[in-house]
Amino acid sequence: MKLTIEGIKNTAEWEEKGYSLPKFDRASVEAATKANPFWIHFGAGNIFRAFQANVVQELLNKGVLDRGLVVAEGYDYEIIEKMYRPHDNIGALVTLKSSGSVEKTVVGSIMEALAADSENEKDWARLCEIFRSPSLQMVTFTITEKGYLLRNAAGVSMPGVEDDFAAGPVLPKSYIGKVVTLLHERYVNAELPVAMVSMDNCSHNGDKLYAAVNEFAKEWENRGVCKPGFLDYVNNASKVSFPWTMIDKITPRPDAKIEKILADDGIEQLEPVITSKKTYVAPFVNAEECQYLVIEDNFPNGRPELEKAGLYFTDRATVDKVEKMKVCTCLNPLHTFLAVSGCLLGYTLIADEMKDPDLLRLVKRLGYEEGLPVVVDPGIIKPRDFIDEVVNIRIPNPFMPDTPQRIACDTSQKLSIRFGETIKGYLARPNELKISDLKVIPLVFALWLRYLTGIGDDGKPFELSPDPLLDECRKFVPDNIDSLLHRKDIFGVDLYDAGLAKAVSDYFARLNSGKGSVRNVLKEL
């Protein structure tokens, strides 16, 4: 049994071992896709393989779609060369159920996999051809938030950007330079319409993509290195759109336990590849069962009926509400609480923390009692249903190998959004909500300050996760935390002005009073 076109032909053998297989005629779908591509995706990583590719397969199986996906990788070309092509673009998706069972799917909806490398003549020529195609409706991205940056935090241009500004749409080097060069191909070819859709897990992601594309177009027009009118094309919403989206699905690194399950079934050649850029890829992906993709319905060239596979299409304001529901109250704040408390208590798996009665009670109190009162119901997803799923299915999933140490990364950058917005919601409605009723949110702030000491509740040192403000903030603990509590950039509000500084200080003093003090405070609350 091999994950190749030839290897999956013996359908009975695969189905006998519990695998769902592609149920469409691959040859005809591949021919139709190459003749009239409708969707190209940039970013050949795990989230794409577990989510978007599986959605397209579901719709191909139902007969809703007659064409598949094209994927392009613009950062690490070895993913295409060493993983996609040897397996004929076919992979296995193992969905990790909270019940402890697994669902196994062979995903074969990707018809072409290309290196977005302007020095690769064959692949680059094909990419240009795809962007010139009138049939192309959507260009999507999961390239991480960093992928849209043209400059680093110090204001220095990212590699290749200045060269691409100067050269114009010819043999680009930077990731965004490649994307905008291909979009320029579409402009030159009759100003064809298209939707440029970021599906990365960051706020107002469409704006981030637009800002990068627009800056390139402006530079090229100003320097006279592109066809005149390109900037107007990029800014004409009837030609090029940049919808907002909210995506939510956890796809951890391919896990050795999952590899063993597949190998025991008889699948060969499952060995992962670690590329020269340190990307870890395998012929399979493992992911949680829950998933959400909410998309602003703004597609100048039309779009496929992806709602028939559970995706949501709505207006921009609703996308924003769903994102705030997730990031500010119903999911991300719970993760951050579990991250800092888990590190202090010596946990190495988020799912195990949900078996801790003290942590479970406080997670529920944080979400249901303190967070839900300020959530604006987006209408398409009920906030209580969402948080029920988070608390009862997603976080406790024993198969999900997510760690508090990973989630504790960059906590100083997360607190203002994940908790500051809720505090602002309370302050804005003093007649209905009392800031003094917030107990767990100030505790989370105090736990983070206690975390910065680098000493666990057992009195032993532990390694702190990366954070850009780590060294700066550690100077204030344990003896001068008052200075930090004024920092709006960290907490979203001045905690003194908000009336929460004393609660944070009192918690911190108790959390920092010796071995076992963290557990004692959690238990008491």
d(CA 202, CA 249): 13
pLDDT attached to residue 355: 96
Quick one: pLDDT at residue 402?
A: 83
Which whole number is the average pLDDT over 42-51? 96
Can you give the pLDDT at residue 99?
84
Rounded-to-integer distance, Cα 158 and Cα 215, Å: 14
pLDDT in tens, 165-207: 999 999 999 999 999 999 999 999 999 999 999 999 988 999 9
Report residue 512 CA to chain centroid gap: 35
- Predicted confidence (pLDDT) per residue in 480-497, tens digit: 999 999 999 999 999 999
For 227-263, what is each residue's pLDDT tens digit?
999 999 999 999 999 999 999 998 888 888 899 999 9
- The token pair at 77 is 């070309």
Query: For 266, which DSSP code?
Result: T
Q: 85-117, pLDDT tens digit by residue?
A: 999 999 999 998 888 889 999 999 999 999 999
Sole residue written with tokens 């009239």: 36
Residue 153 has pLDDT above 80, yes or no: no
CA 441 – CA 337 distance, rounded (Å): 9
How far from chain centre, in Å, is Cα 393? 19
pLDDT tens profile 506-525: 999 999 999 999 999 999 99
The count of other CB atoms within 10 Å of the CB of residue 479 is 7
Model pLDDT for residues 396-438, shown as the tens digit of each residue: 988 877 899 999 999 999 999 999 999 999 999 999 999 999 9
Q: What is the C-alpha to C-alpha distance for residues 87 and 91, in angstroms, rounded to an integer?
A: 7
What 8-state DSSP symbol labels residue 157? B
